[in-house]
Amino acid sequence: MPLFINRDQIFAHQVHLLEHKLRSKEERILELETENAILHLRLAECLGKLRRDHEKETKAQKHHLQQRNAQKITRSALAKLLSEVQAVKQDLSELFAVYLSFSTELEEQSKQLLDKVQQASCSLKGDRGDEVQDLQAVVSALERSLEEERERCRAERQRRKELHNTLVELRGNIRVHCRVRPVLPFDHVPSSTPGSWPALSEEVVSTVSDDTVMVNCIKPGMPVHNKMYEFERVHGPEESQDAVFEEVKPLLTSLLDGYNVCIMAYGQTGSGKTHTMMGSQQLEEHSGGQQRAQPGAQPGAQPGAEQGIIPKAAAELFRMISEKPVYSHTVEVSVMEVYNNEVLDLLAKDAQGNPVEQRCDVITTSNGASQVIALKYQPVRDASEVMQILSRVLKLRAHCPTLVHPDSSRSHLIVTLTISSKSPNALALARRLQSAKKDMQLAAQKEWWSPRCRRANLAARKSSEDHLFASTASSPSRSPSHSPCPSPRRSVSQALFKTKLQLVDLAGSESVGMSGVSGAALWEVSCINRSLSALSDVLGALAEQRPHVPYRNSKLTHLLQDAIGGDAKLLVMLCVSPTQRYVTESLQSLGFGTRARQVQKELPRRKGNPLKVK
């Protein structure tokens, strides 16, 4: 029986198959269009990122070119200024030579004329009186001319000093002052070999001028050889504590302008460092009222005049703050000592309020600043509170009698006054804004911002930001500077701007044979000498501009890293003994000061330059 096939069913089946294929093709077309749209979005995103990267690279190249141009301009200006200073020095030396010859000639002529006047006054009478008056008028004119020449010489010397200070400011060098103490009773020690020459108590270190010190290097059987050392300021044995502080005083003005300042006393044991920094009155108080040997003290001086740099600096600081708006500045004090290469907090107390020995660690923050962990800061309102704290903690400082000094300090003392400013002047505000901008750029190079990093690295960033900006937790809205994630903007108007004044009384360098110590005191001498040697190595590396500076070879240099190699204004006060007995240590101290003057630091941070991490 033949099969009958319905053609309509066949066609319907084929149509159904074709519709199914059509739907499949349409779905495929939709998928391809979706993928195409996604690819277009990715392409647009990549093009935008490429454009932004190109713009950033262009800006970075322009900024680098501007920096190079600025460096070239600065170097040319420094070279021009240096050549002008050299020319002024040459002119001054020629003028000084002319002045010496002219002064000698005038003095000889004046003596001759005076002799003639005396002879004429005895022999001449009557009609010769007019001639005598003429001679006296000539002598008076010569004396006036001599005084004018001396005044011109003094003016030229003052001009040279101002130019030199300007050059030091531009080059960022460390300022070095030298103080020669007077000869004291304990300097008169009988020689081990009677009749030997030179005598141990002979004075061989002397001041030539207000910026030059001379050392007579005397050796038996050898000709006398004089060594000259030049510093920014040289104080002789006759100069008082007030005269020394007047040369240091201008640095304190920089504190309220936004600069960090460090004043450091360096020298051999018994050379007058603690007397220069603290003064004789504070030394007597912390030694229990007993008369302590005071190297550099002037006999018969008033107690107020014998105050050192630290009490005078505290008084001057609060005097300047009193001229500012009320409550615009607050001051905190911290006191540390570096003893046997360990940092000890002298303000630390236990639960009962008794002093306790607390060791602290020194770290380097992300922006290159050194910071002491768990260091106690105590607020102060005037200079008397500062001195009360110091008189209390000085009793805790390590001391030990030696053959050189009956109450020698065996640790490095660091007194830090931290000034928090709520209403900075225009210069400090500009420095704060530039510093915030630089810190933002530095943070942007180290980490990516993301909405998910709400708590990321909060503790690490907080410790590095607190030294520049104080906490504003009392504000109802969180400041961008305290946001857990880096923000493109940073609040500056509500933050505190902090500067610090570091006053350092270094322990004295000494030889084991001369000090006569043994046992535990021998280890103290070893730690002191090693830390001072590390300080000398750091200055040598900075002076030679080596790529690596060994700050971390000692806790002392690590602690003072900001002051030595950072943007702080640093003044080193060299204290030297004048006698032949200590001539070796005096030469070493003067050599240390000469190396310190050769260090060219980065310019003080007026534009918020980030600190270099070594």
Residue numbers belonging to the annotated binding site for ATP: 267-274
On whether the CB atoms of residues 382 and 318 are closer than 8 A, the answer is yes
Q: Which amino acid is at 498?
A: K
- The DSSP code for 404 is S
Q: Which amino acid is at 424?
A: P
Question: Which among 215, 244, 218 has a CA at the least distance from the CA of 229?
Answer: 215
- The helix (H) or strand (E) run that includes residue 47 is helix 7-123
Give the tokens for residue 95: 């003028």
Question: Which among 588, 568, 600, 598 has a CA at the least distance from the CA of 264?
Answer: 568
Question: Which among 139, 243, 268, 301 has a CA at the least distance from the CA of 585?
Answer: 268
CA pair distance 11, 67, nearest whole angstrom: 83
What residues are paired with 205 via a beta bridge?
215
CA pair distance 573, 278, nearest whole angstrom: 13
On whether the CB atoms of residues 211 and 230 are closer than 8 A, the answer is yes
Q: Provide the CA 548 distance to its chain's centre, in angstroms.
A: 19
- Inter-axis angle of helices 583-597 and 520-543, nearest 10: 30
Spell out the residues 6+ positions from residue 549 whose beta carbon is closer than 8 angstroms to its own: 538, 541, 542, 565, 614
Q: Provide the H-helix boundaries in 124-181.
A: 129-171
CA pair distance 298, 47, nearest whole angstrom: 78
Spell out the residues 6+ positions from residue 188 whose beta carbon is closer than 8 angstroms to its own: 201
Q: Are strands 412-421 and 408-409 parallel, antiparallel or unpaired?
A: unpaired
What residues are paired with 215 via a beta bridge?
205, 227
Give the tokens for residue 38: 């996604």
Question: Which among 418, 438, 467 has a CA at the least distance from the CA of 606?
Answer: 438
Place of tokens 């000539």: 138
Place of tokens 């003052």: 158
On whether the CB atoms of residues 427 and 353 are closer than 8 A, the answer is no
Give the tokens for residue 158: 């003052």
Give the gyration radius of the chain's Cα atoms: 36
Intra-chain end-to-end CA distance of the chain, in Å: 106
> How many Cβ atoms from other residues are within 10 Å of residue 380's Cβ?
19
Q: Provide the H-helix boundaries in 326-484.
A: 383-393, 426-446, 458-465
> How many Cβ atoms from other residues are within 10 Å of residue 479's Cβ?
19
3-state SS string for 517-569: CCCHHHHHHHHHHHHHHHHHHHHHHHHCCCCCCCHHHCHHHHHCHHHHHCCCE
